[in-house]
Amino acid sequence: MKHDLKGIIPPLVSPFRDDETLDEEALRENIRFMMSRGVHGICLGGSTGEGHTLSVEELARSIEIACEETDGAIPVVAGIIANSTRDAITAAKAVSAFDVAALQITPVHYVFKPDDDATYAHFERLTRETDIPIVIYNVVPWNYLSPKLLVRLMEGLPGIMGVKQSAGDLKLMADLMITVPEGRKVFTAVDALLYPSFAIGAHGTIAANPAAVPGVCVSLWDAVQAGNHTLAKEIHAALLRFWNTIYADNLPANVKYALAKQGVATGIPRMPMPTTSPAQAEAIDRELANVLKFENLKV
């Protein structure tokens, strides 16, 4: 594989102007901020980036900007949140002109849940119609893929390079880690439990906490890789307290608020998502100041 995906890969916010159009200069600023914090890759079009609201053209333009700014220094992942195989393929083809390391693709997420065979057929067609490696974004609560099905997909489809395991169940994460096929990767998006995820062998993370405080998450990753679990547990505690302040139905808005407090332009969320409330802002301010003490430590 051309790009080696591992470590801290923040799913960037999509900065919107007051008229809800994409603010390209602010997006460039966000990418530069992430790179200055030593991240190992970036993802555009994920949940934190309000990818479900982006048009195919906006996603493609975001990826184009990301590839320009990174210039091959770190991998770029394209997030695809689509409700049909056809739409996912359309988005994949739209970003294929750029130097994309992987596609992060959800199972379908409307109310009609496909069975295991239909889900397999969905990803089989995706791998057949694109030559970009795919990371399955296992996030949809009513269509959450079991470790057994994920292993079947990874074993049967060479185009599936790995899984981004979301939700809060570390047991499912652990089950996946002991069954993942050789050469495939598991990225954690269990934001509250990044430390234990890293400790049991996760290959990295694509999650909201890294999007909000990337340098802190780099410190956590480095501490675990160095075997400094005393420090890692301290960072974990601070990250968990911070996570508890941003985790809400308006999570992307709260990540934008935390970034703005660090001097990064982020704009507003797209309607109907509400902006950060005064009560949320007060809690975020308190824990952000505490967690940033662990930013970019020399481990």
Please check the confidence at residue 283 and state whether its pLDDT lies above 80: yes
Q: How confident is the model at residue 86 (pLDDT cuts 50, 70, 90)?
A: very high
pLDDT given at position 190: 96
CATH of the domain at 236: 3.20.20.70
**Is the pLDDT score of 1 beyond 70?**
no
Q: Taking CA 191 as the corner, what is the angle to CA 73 and CA 141, rounded to the nearest 5 degrees?
A: 110
What angle separates helix 278-291 from helix 229-246, to the nearest 10 degrees? 170
The residue-averaged pLDDT of 9-37 equals 98
The reply to whether 36 falls in a domain is: yes
Interval 167-193: pLDDT, tens: 778 999 999 999 999 999 999 999 999
Are 8 and 219 in contact by the 8 Å Cβ rule? The answer is: no
Q: Is residue 2 part of a domain?
A: no
Helix (H), strand (E) at residue 105:
strand 102-105
Question: 119 pLDDT band (50/70/90 cuts)?
Answer: very high
The mean pLDDT value for 248-271 works out to 98
The whole-number pLDDT of residue 54 equals: 98
Q: How crowded is the C-beta side of 222, counted as CA atoms within 13 Å?
A: 16
In this structure, is residue 233 part of a structural domain?
yes
Does the pTM surpass 0.95? The reply is yes
Three-state DSSP state, 103: strand
Domain that holds residue 259: 7-294
Q: How confident is the model at residue 248 (pLDDT cuts 50, 70, 90)?
A: very high
271 is a domain residue: yes
Indicate the pLDDT class of residue 47, thresholds 50, 70 and 90.
very high
Q: What is the pLDDT of residue 299?
A: 85
pLDDT at 3: 84
At 212, the amino acid letter reads A
Please state the domain count of the chain: 1
Phi, psi of 108 (to 5 degrees): -65, 150
In single-letter form, the type of residue at position 152 comes to R
Q: How many contiguous H segments (helices) and E segments (strands) does the chain have? A: 12, 8
Asked whether 162 and 186 are in contact (CB, 8 A), the reply is: yes
Q: For residue 105, is it within any domain? A: yes
Whether residue 299 lies inside any domain: the answer is no
